[in-house]
Each structure stands twice: as C-alpha cells, then as structure tokens.
Amino acid sequence: MILERKTEMKTVFYIGNESIGCLLQTVYGKLQLLHLGTPLFPEDAETLDASRLLGWGNDVLYADGDPASCMDTIPLAWSENGIGDYRESSIELVSGGQAVSGDFIFSSAEILTEEEGEEVSCMPHARGPHETLKLTFLPSNCLLQGISLELRFALFETALVRQTVLENRSGQSVFVTKFMSSCFDLHGDFRMSTFDGGWIREMHRHDVPVTFSRIVNESTNGSSSNRHNPGFLLSAADAEEDSGEVYGFNLIWSGNHYGSAQRAATGYTRVLQGISPEDLCYEIVPGRRFETPDAVVAWSKDGYNGLSGKMHRFVNSCIIPESWRYRERPVLYNSWEGCMFSFTETKLLSLAKKAKKTGCELFVLDDGWFGARNDDHAGLGDYAVNRRKLPGGLEGLSRKLHAEGLQFGLWFEPEAVNPDSDCYRAHPDWALSSPGNRDLYGRNELLLDLTKKEVRDYIVESVSAILDSADVQYVKWDMNRCSPVSGNKAYDYILGLYEVLGRIFGQRPAILLEGCASGGNRFDLGMLCFAPQIWASDDTDPIERLDIQNGLSYLYPQSTVGAHISAAPHSMTLRATPMSTRANVSFFGAFGIEFDLDGMQSVDESELKESITFYKKHRNTFQFGRFRRNPAEKGSVCWQVTGEEETLCGLFHRLLPAGPEIEWLQVKGLDREMRYRVESRPQLLRVKQFGGLLKHILPVRIDPEGAVLRIADHHYKMADGQYASACSGAALMSGIPIHKRFSGTGYDPAMRVQGDFGSNLFTITLEK
C-alpha cells in the first residue's frame, strides 16, 4: 500500500505492507525519513516527526530564521552537500567544470501501480507485483536548471526497492561523480555485518559496531567482488538469530559498489548504498538520463533468520528469471576438478556414464573445449571446437550425452581473451585497458571491452551459434580476473555485460545459466536476474564451505548457491573429509558433483549414489525450503530447511574434541503439539581411517599399511551410528540430546563415530 497525504506545509507518504513500513514526508522541499522498519500507520507521521529538534550551536539553518530547518539534525531519505547537512551526501555533481551542490526541492509525486516509465539502459530490475512511489525533485541551484532528480520507492512483498534517476534536460552536460541508489537515516544502535574475503574464502561474515567513524563496504575490482559482497546487515545490538531487529541491504548490481554506515551526534545512522564513486565522473549529455541500480532493503524483528527468510523470498520470487522461479535445479556433473583441460571425448563419455549411473541429470563440459585451450595461456576469445579432443564436435558429444539420458551443459568465459588467440590477433584493440597504462594480466588473460558494440555483437553471435548448434541445456558463464578499469568504464562494462546476457538468454529462457567469476567474485542480485544459480566458490572443501555457504545464507537462498561434492584430500586445502560431510554440506544448495569418477572405489560409488538419491528425494526442501541457522556448539554449524512436509537439519563439526560434550539438536518452527520422527541419514566410515586401531575390534592383527586393509577399504565401509527417535514439536524446539560422539571408551553401536570434519543430516517428519 502506498498512500499520499497533503497538508499545506508537508506531504506525507506511507509505503507499507505486512513486511515493512516506511514513512516519509517532505519538509522544506527535502525528503524526511520518519520511519523505516515495522509496518506502522500513516497517522503516526505527526508524532514521529523529530524535526522539531532544533538546530543548535554552530549548525546551519536551511530556512533563515527557522530553527527547525537544520538539515544536519533531520533524518533524511536523500541529501546533498551545501544544504547544511554535514553527513555523507547522496549525490555529487560537476557542471561547468566545478563541483555544484544539487539542493533538489520536491516538485511532484506519482504512485505507479505497475512498472511504467522508460528504462534507459539494460539495468536489471526486481520483477513481480509491486507499487512504486515516484518523487520528482528539481534543483533550486541556478547552475543546474534543467536537471531533475527522481527517487523511486517500489514496494514488493518482502522488501522495499529504491532507485534514483537523474535526467538532463538542460543545454549542457552535467557530470555525476557520486550518485547513490538509496539513503536512509535510521534511529538506533547498530552492528554492521559485512560479507568479505577473497578467492576461495568468499562471504565470511564480519561484525563491527556502527559508531562515529564511517564504515564503508565497497568493491573496486570491477565486479561485485569476492572482497566485499554488496549485501550487508544492520542489526540492533541485542539481535540474535531469531530475535531482535535486523535490516538487510543489497544492490541489484554486479560491478563496483558502495555501502556505508555512520552514526551522527543526533543518534541517527546514515546508510548509503549505490555504485562506487571511485574514479566516477560520468557525463550525462543533454537529453539523457542516468539510472542507478536498484537498492534493496528488508527488515525483520525476528533476528537474522527472520531477515534471511524475507531476503530469500524476495530473491526467489522477484529476482530469479521467471522461467526458473521455484523450478528445481538438476543434479549436475561438472568436468573441471576431475579433468581440468585434459580430456578426450572417450574420457568424457566414460565420466558421463558413471555420472548417469550415480544419478546425475546434467553433464557439464567445463573449460578446455575450444581453440588452443590446453591450459590457461591460450584460446580464450575463440570458439572453434577442438576437434582433437572432440572429433564429433559439440554436436556429437551432445547427441551422445542425450542418448545416455543426460542433459548437456557447457562452460564459457566470453568476457575474456588470451593474447594467444585468433580473436586477439585479429582485434587487439578489443581488449579492455586502462587509458595510458600498460596491460595487466590476470590468469594470463585480458578482458574484452564490453562497452564496444562490435565486441558485444561478437560475443552474442559466437555464444548463440554454439548454443543453437549443440542443443545445450545449461551454461556456466565464467569470468576469471579482476578488471583493469575503474569509474565510468567499469560502470559501462557492467551495462554491456547485462546487454549481452539479455540478448543471449532472453531468447533462450529454457537454458539454465550458472554465473561464475573465479567462484564467487560476482555473486550478486544483478547476476541472479539472469542466472538462477551462481558457483559460490572454487573452494569445495566442505569445511571451508561452512563459512562460505553460511555467509551466503544471510542474503541468498539455497537454490542460488552452486555446491558440489569434490575429491578428498581437497585441491585447495589438502584436507581429507568424509564423503558424508561433503554430501551433507553440498545438499544445502544447487547440488552437483565434480571429481574424476573413473577409478572410484565401488564402496564410494554406492555411497555417492545413495547421497544423490537422498538429495533428489528431498530436493525441493533443500532448494526452496525455509532456511534457518540453528544453535550449535562452538565452532560447529547447524542449518535447517523446512519444506511442506519435512524439516532437514545438517549438523557440521570441524575438529572432534577429546571427550566431547553431549550434543543437542534444536529445531525451529515446528508445531508444539504434534509428534515428530527424527532420523539421521545412514552414513559410512572408511575402514582405513582406523589404521592399527582395528586390532581392538578384530580377532586377527592387521598391518595398517598392508594390502589386506587396503583391499578391505576398497570394498567395505563401516556403518556409523544412526540416530532415531520420536518426540513432540515442543521438545524438539527446546532441544533434544543426540547420541554421543566417539570419545575413546564406552563404545556403543549407536555412537556417532564421525571423527574430525564429521556431520549428520537429520530428517524430521510428522509421526504417522
């Protein structure tokens, strides 16, 4: 619901539904934020108006002689320099060669019931039922006559989406050096959580209190980045997983971004979100508009889990392309970690047969199928199929995979070029470079300049031709280096990327697109508008994934998180983890497998097959169920998903402590009165992991390094202790003790042996 109420002095706007409420009013032509958070009533505006706080001391008054007009003390939803507000500005402009403060004054309001108005670029937007409040402001500054500012507030079911547009109807260019998508002055004490890291350690959560120094969450590497995800949270000091107020912020944008929070002496915290202003000096020529990306804000009083629930719903219902909304993702096999660049068609078909046998539905051929791409020094930019590896071409391979009953998926890295490629030799000027600088390489590649039409056309035509020739059902769209450019060029690059993605996949909605940028260097809402899922990280070690997937879970639903079982020891960490844990962690995402299946022991093969069967049975709950982070002992992680008829809980451990404490399982959101059956998924243990200790349980002594144990290990696995019981929802929600873990003595068949990096997956269903 969006309401507008006018009085002689002010106009009040209420934007709200069951999820969120926002009260705004115009004062002195500026936009005051009266409230953002719990849904309220339009009538509350009068009482919430704190602008009667008078300016004092050395404050500057916006209306001379009117002590209530101090912009530095009024909570605002947009602000500029030069109006007496000394907090961070939302916009900075240059006109006629000098910095000019906007001083924009409210002019008109419109309530749009559905999307109206021209979109000037390929900027992706949230889609789905919504109403929009469009407020237009005109500058009082005589140097900016003809420029208008539009602030949009779009109300979706679980989130509010803001966008800003600047239009130049003057006779001369104006330059944007900073232009935020949103600005909110929020009242309260906050903790800010950001999700940071780097390659193979993306999305680690970090918390800092919001104080008087500005906290900035920014990316400048050309992508939304693995350094700092654009999404962040502000939570009340007492917020926990299931209680307390939490605001979540995100941006529908895949390039350099900026988010900041800073407390002022009035107790208000200014929160800004938008594109990064670094090196930005964007010319808006007469007659043109500059659109910011959409900024998303959601709010919950039910802690982090409450906020995640709203963000997940928003992403699944309003961001994911319509053809893939709530549509189950296939179990895929990806050739990368198993083969890297070295494969033949025979090898791929052998892997495909095994993948099919274990239950995979889609076979993805990763890097190495084109040009001279036998390592990462050559071939990017070219699309000619390597006939030595694939004598029947992609068509031949695709036909054979389809005959096996598998879908066919293909990897591309269309934004990049190796200097050793036909593409670069023919068009060296297509490479993206920083003006005047020498070329800098990342993974031996340069980026193509997506701001050039001929480059975009080349990519669209090349990729489309392959997709149409080879009956492709899935594409992994990769991008493996950071950008050499910043500012305007980096901004235009992302618009170019969106145009390319829209042109290729807009016409092919049946293709499942998975985003990837060295893993999670571009995990954001912008990419999710095109790609229903994104490869979360090149780190598939399940213990590393506990942090990565946990971080993602605050803002992104499981269906969007590419998660695969890979080999142990792991290629990134050398850590050896049990298959059960690799599976249990990957289940909480868009699941697949990614290691060489040839030579796999039969015991592993059957365990893998059982894992995939289990995932498929519960796939809808894993991908679309309501996700929660549950309490677990220190260092451990517990995730829960609840579907229509079941709840699934994963309990994950890092190191097994000696003499572990009794462990409790706590499940959320059940019916107190009903009785539930709790069962752990059957798991297996490697015989070899017990080494010489086997002498304690066997009648004969076995050499821990000898052939007997090796052979036994290949053919036999021991069942780990399984848990099963039934109790009321009330007991489960308060917590139940589960079978103890191995602690040297007191062996019992029900004991969960586990060892380091052990885990369990519990199914909780109504007792029949």
Active-site residue set:
478, 538
Closest CA to 361 of 410, 407, 411, 409: 407
Complex with ligand GLA: residue 410 or 649, whichever CB lies closer: 410
- Min dist CB 341 to ligand GLA, Å, is 8
Core vs surface per residue 676-707: b (16+ CB within 10 A) or e: bebebbebbbbbebbeeebeeeeeeebeeeee
Supply 367's token pair: 């890097």
Instruction: Provide the terminal-to-terminal Cα distance of the chain, rounded to the nearest Å.
Output: 43
CB of 244 to ligand GLA, least distance (A): 36
The contact set with ligand GLA (CB under 6 A) reads: 336, 366-367, 411, 478, 480, 516, 518-519, 535, 538
Strand bridging mode 533-535 / 512-515: parallel
Please report which helix (H) or strand (E) contains residue 193, including its range. Answer: strand 190-198
Which C-beta is closer to ligand GLA: that of 126 or that of 534?
Answer: 534
H or E element at residue 291: strand 289-291
CA 352 vs CA 110, 293, 331, 402, 606: distances in Å: 56, 41, 13, 10, 16
Residue closest to ligand GLA, measured at CB = 367
- CA–chain centroid gap for 224, Å, is 10
- Given a contact cutoff of 8 angstroms between Cβ atoms, the answer to whether 125 and 101 are in contact is no
What tokens appear for 351 in the block? 């892997």
Residue 415: CB minimum distance to ligand GLA, A: 12
The CB-of-337 to ligand GLA minimum distance in angstroms stands at: 8
Q: Are the C-beta atoms of 210 and 267 separated by less than 8 Å? A: no
Identity of the residue, 72 or 337, whose beta carbon is nearer to ligand GLA in the bound complex: 337
Rounded to 5°, angle at Cα 444 from 440 and 449: 60
Residue 542 in contact with residue 589, Cβ under 8 Å?
no
- Let me know: does 62 contact 82? Beta carbons within 8 Å: no
CB of 411 to ligand GLA, least distance (A): 6
Residue 476 or 681: the one with the smaller Cβ distance to ligand GLA is 476
The nearer residue to ligand GLA, 304 or 535, going by C-beta atoms, is 535
Angle at 243 between CA 235 and CA 727, to 5 degrees: 145
State which residue, 141 or 540, has the beta carbon closest to ligand GLA: 540
Considering the complex, what minimum distance in angstroms separates the CB of residue 355 from ligand GLA?
Answer: 17
At closest approach, how far in Å is the CB of 480 from ligand GLA?
5
Q: By C-beta, is 538 or 607 nearer to ligand GLA?
A: 538
Q: State which residue, 370 or 411, has the beta carbon closest to ligand GLA.
A: 411
Nearest to ligand GLA of 523, 556 (CB atom): 523
Of 492 and 538, CB closest to ligand GLA:
538
In whole angstroms, how close is the CB of 367 to ligand GLA at the nearest point?
A: 3
Q: Tell me the C-alpha distance between 768 and 766, whole Å.
A: 6
Element at 709 (helix H, strand E): helix 707-715
Using CB atoms within 10 Å of the CB of residue 190, give its burial: 0 to 12 exposed, 13 to 18 middle, 19+ buried.
buried
Q: Which residues contact 453 (CB under 8 A, 6 or more apart)?
A: none
Rounded to the nearest angstrom, the gap between the alpha carbon of residue 22 and the centroid of all alpha carbons in its chain is: 25
Inter-residue contact 217 to 207 (CB < 8 Å): no
d(CA 668, CA 671): 9
Contact (Cβ atoms closer than 8 angstroms) between residue 158 and residue 16: no
Rounded distance between C-alpha atoms, residue 318 and residue 156, angstroms: 8
Give CA–CA dist 590/532, Å, rounded: 10
Helix axes 542-553, 579-586, angle to 10 degrees: 10
Burial (CB < 10 A; 0-12, 13-18, 19+), residue 398, is buried
Take residue 190 and report the two structure tokens written for it: 């906050």
State whether residue 642 is helix, strand or coil: strand
For ligand GLA, the closer of residues 341 and 723 by Cβ is 341
CB of 340 to ligand GLA, least distance (A): 8
Q: With respect to ligand GLA, which residue has the nearer C-beta, 542 or 729? A: 542
Cα dihedral across residues 366, 369, 372, 375: positive or negative: positive
- Classify the C-alpha dihedral 698-701-705-708 as positive or negative: negative
Q: Which of 512, 608, 589, 604 is nearest to 549 (CA)?
A: 589
